[in-house]
């Protein structure tokens, strides 16, 4: 088991450095920062709450669904963060590039931004299913932005995406979405 863990950790660091060090560029820096800011959890929460409070009947329905999925997924994500207690890569990897004020939240695993982006994508897929590839692509880009900017390892992003995908399935199986 420790062999598998070592393999995962080594490749996690290798992929992190690829996204974080090898793909750097001024235009990409600005794009990734904008993308990550658009999907700050409070921003997604505010959009969901606004849709629920101020939207039409359809907007309220999807606002409620997004609030349900987002809050549940983020609760799970932040509980795991506290339990796992994994340091962020800009703390653990001396070669990590980052140009930001370190966040107050020092835990890396799993990614809350990715969780928020995939929560949003899961609900948008219900609203406009024909654009499913677009919603998933945007959510995946948010995850990549978190690695690129130095906040998260690839496994943080993968699990951050996995949580809302699973929760959507659970909620749908119980008729809650």
3-state secondary structure 127-159: HCHHHHHHHHHHHHHHHHHHHHCCCCCHHHHHH
Q: Has residue 14 been placed in a domain?
A: no
Does residue 79 or residue 92 have the better pLDDT?
A: 79
Q: What is the pLDDT of residue 101?
A: 64
Q: How far apart (Å, rounded) are the C-alpha atoms in residues 138 and 118? A: 9
- Whichever domain contains 45, its CATH number is 1.20.144.10
Residues 6+ apart with CB under 8 A from 80: 109, 110, 159
Q: Does residue 6 have a pLDDT over 80?
A: no
At 36-60, the pLDDT tens digits run 998 887 888 888 888 878 777 777 7
Q: Has residue 6 been placed in a domain?
A: no
At 95-108, the pLDDT tens digits run 877 776 666 667 88
Q: How far is CA 155 from the centre of its chain?
A: 11
Share of the chain above pLDDT 70, in %: 95
Confidence of residue 129 (pLDDT cuts 50, 70, 90): very high
Q: Has residue 21 been placed in a domain?
A: no
Q: What is the pLDDT of residue 166?
A: 97
| Residue 164 lies in domain | 32-173
Q: What is the pLDDT of residue 127?
A: 87
Mean of the per-residue pLDDT values of the chain: 88
Q: Has residue 56 been placed in a domain?
A: yes
- Structural domains in the chain (count): 1
Q: Has residue 11 been placed in a domain?
A: no
- Residue pair 102/147 in contact (Cβ under 8 Å)? The answer is no
């Amino acid at each position: 088991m420790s062999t598998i863990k070592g393999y995962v950790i080594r490749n996690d660091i290798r992929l992190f450095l690829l996204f974080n060090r090898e793909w750097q560029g001024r235009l990409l820096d600005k794009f990734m920062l904008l993308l990550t800011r658009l999907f700050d959890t409070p921003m997604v929460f505010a959009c969901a709450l606004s849709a629920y409070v101020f939207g039409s009947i359809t907007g309220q329905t999807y606002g409620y669904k997004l609030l349900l999925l987002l809050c549940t997924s983020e609760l799970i994500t932040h509980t795991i963060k506290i339990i796992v207690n994994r340091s962020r890569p800009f703390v653990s990897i001396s070669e990590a590039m980052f140009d930001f004020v370190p966040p107050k939240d020092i835990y890396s695993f799993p990614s809350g931004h990715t969780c928020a982006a995939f929560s949003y994508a899961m609900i948008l897929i219900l609203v406009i299913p024909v654009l499913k590839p677009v919603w998933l692509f945007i959510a995946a880009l948010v995850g990549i932005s978190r690695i690129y900017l130095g906040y998260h390892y690839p496994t943080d992003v993968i699990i951050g995406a996995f949580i809302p995908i699973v929760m959507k399935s659970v909620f749908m199986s119980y008729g809650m979405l």
